[in-house]
A and B are shown apart, each in its own frame.
Chain A
Amino acid sequence: MSSTAETIQPKAGAVSGASASLWMRQITAIMRLELKKNFFGKRSFLIYLLALMPIGLLLLVALVQPSDKDWSDFASLPKIFSVIYNGMILRTVIFFGCAWIFMNLFRGEIVDRSLHYYFLSSVRREVLVAGKYISGLVTSVILFSAVTIASMLLLFFPHFFSASARFFSDGAGLSQLFTYVLITVLACIGYGAFFLVVGLFFRNPIIPALLLYGWEWINFLLPPLLKKISVIHYLNSLVPVPISEGPFAVVAEPTPAWIAVPGLVIVTALVLILAGTRIRRMEIRYGSE
């Protein structure tokens, strides 16, 4: 050991800066660590696999060119995409993708026994929650927005190139694409907060995740009041091309966007406050996990 190195002097208060700028620096540092893990860690493999599902399927469709009459009619493509987006992208890829990304923000570190390094840093635990949540959000938004955009383009362009070009340049294509991306972002915000909290409260977060999955799927059967206790209801309210939910669906008025968007954000903020409260009391006991 280098005992001739310069004397270590206690540097109490060495970390300087007003709280807001200090927190921003800390959040940035947390994000730098987490984004690397989220995009390049060994756990990211599953996310890429999920993300490739709709893209792979639509690539296959582009190669096979189905003979079904719906596929030969350009006007039906927006509805087809709405079905694909709702059934596959939103309810499967984004849902499970967010579950994997956000639950692993804390649970993954507990499994890897590396969470204590954060807890032993001079950082408020609420700032840690914020940093981890934002990094999960950035990861999921980048990945799933890309999936949404790629899927929509892959559905339209291989089948009707010039009509699609007109649809996206002069028609409703671009605004629909923008709305789907907005829904994707809101889904990441809402599901992300939920799964982050689940990862903090439950040793085995799969069960609550599956319960939420079931709840979201039966949403169309629920009475109007219960429908509102879900994420999918608010997201469906924003879909640019509504789809039929079948003969058994309980019809409810969609929530206007001016309520759906801030409502989702407010609920997310409340869930994150819960996460902050939880993490303040959290102990590191890897042996019992």
Chain B
Amino acid sequence: MSASENTIVFENVSKFYGEILGVNRVTLDIPAGITSLVGPNGAGKTTLMNLMTGLLRPTRGRVTVLGIPTDQPDRLFRKVGYCSQFDSFPRGLTGREFIRSFLMVSGFTKKEADELTESALDRVELMPAADRKIGAYSKGMRQRVRLAQSIAHQPSVLILDEPLNGLDPMVRAETIALFKQLAAEGLHLIISSHILHEVDMMSDRVVLLNNGYVVAEGAVHGVRDEMDVEHPMQILIRCDQPSSLAARLFQNDELVEARVHDDRHGLFVKTRNPDRFYLLLNEVVANEQLNIESIAPVDDDLSAVYEYLIGDQ
């Protein structure tokens, strides 16, 4: 089995809608685990997902999912489930009928479809509303029934476009737990979201998109590390003498900026080399007898990465 049969591969993929750019020159190799697509509206997240599922065809390049070209839906969707953002359904169906019907369109026998439907409904906790018409569902229930439909055939790749939209906080937390569990079971989960702290909580990797281009990809902290040259890391040091500490630290080149916290009990510092800075800090603390309560990176998360790469554009 070649490596590409275990990953989702974009080979120099571009998609244009007439003259409008969807995504351009995207090359990605997405392994199992949770990968989040992050970017502002119009960045190309949904285009990327639609390319992965064959709903769109690339203008240039090639997309394969676990080695399957995306223009072979009969093979592709045995392994892929897609919970799209389209909040629309075939008319007149109940939640149960909706899931079962499309399982049968995929070729499952009635018995298999019934079992898989029950399992999927149970998994998203929609059993009590399963026999109600989808037209009467709340937004959160519609979101859950779409999720159930996308996991019902037990895919190995699950693609979810803004799957947490419309869910109340409790269900959001449960859904994130479900995603983590699915990823732990070896599934590929590709999730787009604009709620960065949730993406941060659940993602193994992120792909940051802006204006149709991939601007960064990899593990969140890895992406952050790569940005140190252009974007120094900010660290908050909680201590009793922030001004003295700042004066001492400024004698070293590793420090780019220092600012005393508003409550006068902490110091924000910016450094391009956190590892060497931490060594320096150890020396200073030992020599100056300063009382340090805590040291924590302020912006070693996705929000900071997003803000640096995309937020100010």
Chain A residues within 8 Å of B, Cβ to Cβ: 1-3, 5-15, 17, 22, 25-26, 28-30, 32-33, 36-37, 40-42, 109, 112-114, 116-125, 127, 280-281, 283-286, 288
- The reply to whether A119 and B55 contact each other, CB–CB distance below 8 Å, is yes
Give the complex CA separation of A29 and B100 in angstroms: 10
Q: For B154, give its contact among A8, A120, A127, A285 (CB under 8 Å).
A: A8
Candidates B91, B107, B112; contact of A41 at CB < 8 Å: B91
How long is the Cα–Cα vector from A249 to B50 in the complex, in angstroms?
A: 54
Q: Is the CB of B55 within 8 A of A2?
A: no
Contact with A along B150-177 (1 / 0, CB 8 A): 1101111000000000000001001101
Query: Helix, strand, loop or mixed for chain A's interface?
Result: loop
In the bound complex, do residue B107 and residue A25 qualify as a contact, i.e. CB atoms below 8 Å apart? yes
In B61-86, the 8 Å CB interface with A consists of 71, 73-79, 81-82, 84, 86
> What are some 8 contacts across the A-B interface (CB < 8 A)?
A1-B177, A3-B181, A11-B154, A29-B105, A109-B90, A122-B75, A122-B76, A284-B50
A37 to B119, CA, bound (A): 27
Q: How large is the interface on B (under 10, 10 to 19, 20 to 34, 35 or more residues)?
A: 35 or more
Contact B74 A11 (CB under 8 A): no
B56 A283 Cβ-Cβ under 8 A? yes
Q: Are A12 and B74 neighbours in the complex by a CB distance under 8 Å?
A: no
Name the B residues within 8 Å of A117 (CB-CB).
Answer: 89-90, 102, 149
What B residues does A41 contact at CB under 8 A? 91-92
Q: Does B186 contact A (CB under 8 A)?
A: yes
> In the bound complex, what is the Cα–Cα distance between A124 and B73 (angstroms)?
6
B123 touches A2 (CB 8 A): yes
Contacts of B71 in A (CB 8 A): 280
How far is A158 from B233 in the complex, measured between Cα atoms in Å? 93
Residues of A within 8 A of B54 (CB): 119
Contact B178 A3 (CB under 8 A): yes
How far is B127's CA from A205's CA once the two chains are assembled, in angstroms? 41
CB distance from B87 to the nearest CB of A (A): 8
Question: Which residue on B lies nearest to A34, using beta carbons?
Answer: B90
Chain A residues with CB under 8 Å of B53's CB are 120
Is the pair B178, A10 in contact by a Cβ cutoff of 8 Å? no
